[in-house]
Chain A
Amino acid sequence: MTEHQADPAIKARGHGSKTTLLAILLAVQVLCAVFFVGDVAEDFRRDGILPHTLFEGAVALALFIGVVLGGLEMRRTLERNRRAEAAASAASGAFAQLIDERFSGWALTAAEAEVALLALKGFDVAEIAGLRGTAEGTVRAQLARVYAKARVASRSQFVCLFIDDLLAAPITPEEAA
Chain B
Amino acid sequence: MATQTNDGAAHAAPAWDPIVRLTHWCVALAVILNGLIVEDESLIHIWIGYVALGFLVLRLIWGVIGTEEARFTSFPPSIAAAKVHLGDMLLGERRPHKSHNPLGALMVYAIWGTLAVVVATGVMMESDPFPPTQGVSGFTAIFSEYERPYGDSEVLEEIHETAANVLLFLALIHVGGVLLESRLTGVNLVRAMVRGRRRTQGDEH
Does B8 belong to the interface (CB within 8 Å)? no
- 12 A-B contacts, Cβ less than 8 Å apart? A5-B201, A12-B199, A19-B17, A24-B22, A26-B58, A27-B19, A27-B23, A34-B54, A38-B50, A75-B67, A85-B2, A89-B1
B50-81 contacts to A, CB under 8 A, are 50-51, 53-55, 57-58, 61-62, 65-67
Against A, the Cβ 8 Å flags (1 = close, 0 = not) of B176-197 are 0000000000000000000011
Task: Answer yes or no: B127 CB below 8 A from chain A CBs.
Answer: yes
In the assembled complex, which residues on chain B have CB atoms less than 8 Å from the CB atom of A83? 2
- Assess whether B57 is in contact with A72, with CB atoms less than 8 Å apart: no
8 A Cβ contacts from B113-143 to A = 123, 127-129
With A71-B65, A75-B66 given, is the CB distance from A16 to B18 under 8 Å?
A: yes
State which size class the interface on A falls in.
20 to 34
Nearest 10 A/B pairs, CB to CB = A86-B2, A23-B18, A31-B54, A30-B58, A34-B54, A20-B18, A19-B18, A23-B22, A23-B19, A12-B199
Taking A23-B19, A31-B50, A72-B65 as known contacts, 12 extra A-B pairs with beta carbons closer than 8 A to each other, sorted by chain A number, are A27-B23, A31-B54, A33-B54, A34-B57, A38-B123, A42-B127, A68-B61, A78-B18, A83-B2, A85-B2, A89-B1, A89-B204
In-complex Cβ contact of A35 among B21, B129, B201 (8 A):
B129
Which B residues form the contact surface with A (CB < 8 A)? 1-2, 15, 17-19, 21-23, 26, 50-51, 53-55, 57-58, 61-62, 65-67, 123, 127-129, 196-197, 199, 201, 204
Classify the secondary structure of B's interface with A: helix
Contact of B61 among A9, A30, A31 (CB under 8 A): A30
Chain A residues with CB under 8 A of B26: 27
A74 interface residue per 8 A CB criterion: yes
Q: Which of A8, A33, A75, A85 contacts B65 (CB 8 A)?
A: A75
Known: A30-B55, A92-B204. A16 touches B196 (CB 8 A): yes
From B17, B23, B50, name the one whose CB has the most chain A CB atoms within 10 angstroms.
Answer: B17
- B17 contacts across to A, CB distance below 8 A: 19, 23, 78
- Given contacts A12-B199, A23-B19, A27-B23, whether A82 and B2 have CB atoms under 8 Å apart is yes
Q: Is the CB of A27 within 8 A of B22?
A: yes
Say yes or no for A79: interface residue by CB 8 A criterion. yes
**Do the beta carbons of B50 and A71 come within 8 Å of each other?**
no
Inter-chain CA distance A35–B204, complex, in Å, is 45
Q: How far is the CB of A99 from chain B (nearest CB, A)?
A: 15
Q: Mark A59-90 against chain B: 1 for CB-CB distance below 8 A, else 0.
A: 00000000110011011001100110110010
| Chain A: CB-nearest residue to B53 | A34
Cβ-based interface call for A22 (8 A): yes
Out of B15, B65, B123, name the residue touching A68 (CB < 8 Å): B65
Q: Are B65 and A27 in contact (CB under 8 A)?
A: no
Contacts of B15 in A (CB 8 A): 82
